[in-house]
Amino acid sequence: MRIDIITIFPEYFGPLSVSLIGKAAERGDISFGVHDLRKWTHDVHRTVDDSPFGGGPGMVMKPEPWGDALDAVASMGAGPGANPLLVIPTPTGVPFTQRHAARYAAEPRLIFACGRYEGIDGRVTDEARSRMRVEEVSIGDYVLAGGEPAVLVMTEAICRLLPGVLGNAESAADDSFGFGGGSSGGPMAGLVEGPAFTRPRVWRDREVPAVLLSGDHRAIARWRRDSALRRTAQNRPDLVWRLLAGSVAAEGEDAGEEAVRLDDHDRAVLAEAGFPVTGEDVAN
Ligand code: JAH
């Protein structure tokens, strides 16, 4: 996979040569191109921003350097069947999820465009859409000073799904939110995982749950699902409501796919954790 990043702070991407991603890049499983947007400025001051039409605080990124940068980077290694996907992090984008990570990991080429200030002139995305696929995504409901940290976050989420990048290929299959378990989704589809334990068996008078030492793999899987359901109920009621509504597709993003199934045991665990909320808890 090839990932190009356009930014006014190329130094920000030093971490891409560290750890799992760094090793994958050394092996050639991923290749990165980090491009300084100022390369596509033409004035002596290498200006990338200007004041907003209509007034207001802050500055807006000028369209010309972005247009030229996107033309140049998109045409690098261009060929039929390799049209890049342009991803633009912005607090106004659609929420980036594990599904996006999986879909992006299957792309041969991604381009990330990092905005700063109050964002990029609105015509840049519109014009880019006329030539390539463009997605505006948000990694969470907060405002950063620029898209760079979001690109590091998304790159990590994407690259750990590439074959051979994660040490243990199976650990992606049962991740929180995981869709790794085939047509029905992973065991954690739509859930966050419960706690994990390692040696020693007893630490500061606290024992590891006995079932995990039992060797009974069915019982262990059931226990893990129960803890995931309880933790999701506690920390992510939004995810539980979606599961109860049957709106979590098992795999892929297309409508009409089978919903993640909750069995009677799952429903009993959720009921004990307060779902569905009944009686006086429900506002009329
Ligand atoms: C801020 C350009 N969803 C996180 C996120 C992503 C991007 C930005 N902020 C928050 C951002 C300023 C300029 C992008």
| pLDDT of 2 higher than 80 | yes
Mean pLDDT confidence for 55-82: 93
Q: Quick one: pLDDT at residue 184?
A: 55
Alpha-carbon gap, residue 158 to 169, rounded angstroms: 14
| pLDDT for the residue 3 | 98
Q: Report how far ligand 1's centroid is from the alpha carbon of 142 (Å).
A: 8
pLDDT tens by residue, 125-168: 999 999 999 999 999 999 999 999 999 999 999 999 998 887 66
pLDDT of residue 181: 45
pTM score, whole prediction: 0.93
Weakest-pLDDT range from 168-172, 174-178, 213-217, 278-282: 278-282
Q: Which two tokens stand for residue 37?
A: 């947007």
For 264, residues 6+ apart whose C-beta sits below 8 A from its C-beta are none
Q: Who has greater pLDDT, 169 or 188?
A: 188
Mean pLDDT of the chain: 92
Task: Tell me if 90 CB under 6 Å of ligand 1.
Answer: yes
pLDDT, position 280: 61
pLDDT at 126: 98
141 CA: nearest ligand 1 atom: 3
Over residues 173-202, the pLDDT tens digits come to 789 897 654 455 788 999 999 999 999 999
Q: What is 240-268 written as a DSSP string?
A: HHHHHTT--BSSSS-TTSPBPP--HHHHH
For a ligand 1 pocket test, name from 100, 141, 143, 154 the mutation site with the most ligand atoms within 8 angstroms of its C-beta.
143
Is 282's pLDDT higher than 50?
yes
pLDDT (0 to 100) of residue 13:
98
Cα angle vertex 154, ends 66, 113, to 5°? Answer: 0
Question: Is any atom of ligand 1 closer than 6 Å to the C-beta of 154?
Answer: no
Which tokens hold the place of 200? Answer: 């020693």
Backbone angles phi, psi at 59, to 5 degrees: -130, 160
